[in-house]
């Protein structure tokens, strides 16, 4: 593994772990805290969180940047036939894919009037998946970086 690839692997590993940690916080206490309020209040608060996430540059750089870097690493892993690097890159990319495929559509439905009870379970379940894939992706990228 060349030094630029190692540097890219380290940055992506840190980004993936940070994304996983952010989603871990949502899974373990943010969503539970929102659910302790009245359903209408929880929905309003979540709409505010979603609006902030869409406009928050530091979050977007971390979240989308990690996804782009993971995609680049995935291509490098395929070219180099590096299994750990490929597995880590795929897992690091999954939070972005899951967000776009599942969480954002649920957010849009909440914005359009989906009730909190119908939103909370599926959104949180997909968030658990984003948490695990982000953290595992970071771990596998660390392993890939140490293999060289």
How confident is the model at residue 2, as a pLDDT? Answer: 64
Range of the domain at 24: 3-146
Contact 113, 97 (CB under 8 A): no
Neighbouring residues of 37: CB distance < 8 A, sequence distance ≥ 6: 45
> Per residue in 80-96, pLDDT tens?
999 999 999 999 999 99
57 or 3, higher pLDDT: 57
- CA-to-CA distance for 141 and 27, rounded, in angstroms? 23
Neighbouring residues of 110: CB distance < 8 A, sequence distance ≥ 6: 43, 46, 47, 50, 116, 119, 123
> Per residue in 109-148, pLDDT tens?
999 999 999 999 999 999 999 999 999 999 999 999 998 6
pTM for this entry: 0.94
Q: Look at the chain and report how many structural domains it folds into.
A: 1
Contact 129, 98 (CB under 8 A): yes
Q: What are the phi and psi torsion angles at 38 (to 5°)?
A: -65, 145
> Per residue in 6-63, pLDDT tens?
999 999 999 999 999 999 999 999 999 999 999 999 999 999 999 999 999 999 999 9
How confident is the model at residue 147, as a pLDDT? Answer: 86
Residue whose token pair is 């490098």: 76
How confident is the model at residue 36, as a pLDDT? Answer: 97
- For helices 39-55 and 116-146, the axis angle rounded to 10 degrees is 40
* pLDDT higher than threshold 80 for residue 77: yes
Side-chain-side CA neighbours of 92 within 13 Å: the count stands at 37
């Amino acid at each position: 593994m060349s030094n630029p690839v190692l540097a890219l692997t380290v940055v992506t590993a840190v980004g993936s772990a940070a994304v996983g940690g952010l989603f871990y916080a949502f899974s373990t206490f943010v969503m539970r805290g929102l659910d302790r309020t009245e359903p209408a209040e929880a929905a309003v608060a979540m709409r505010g969180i979603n609006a902030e996430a869409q406009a928050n540059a530091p979050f977007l750089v971390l979240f989308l940047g990690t996804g782009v870097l993971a995609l680049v690493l995935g291509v490098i892993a395929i070219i180099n036939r590096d299994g750990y690097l490929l597995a880590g890159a795929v897992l690091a990319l999954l939070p972005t894919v899951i967000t776009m495929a599942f969480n954002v559509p649920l957010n849009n439905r909440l914005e359009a009037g989906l009730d909190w009870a119908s939103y909370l379970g599926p959104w949180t379940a997909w968030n658990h998946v984003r948490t695990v894939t982000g953290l595992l992706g970071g771990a596998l990228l660390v392993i890939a970086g140490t293999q060289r």
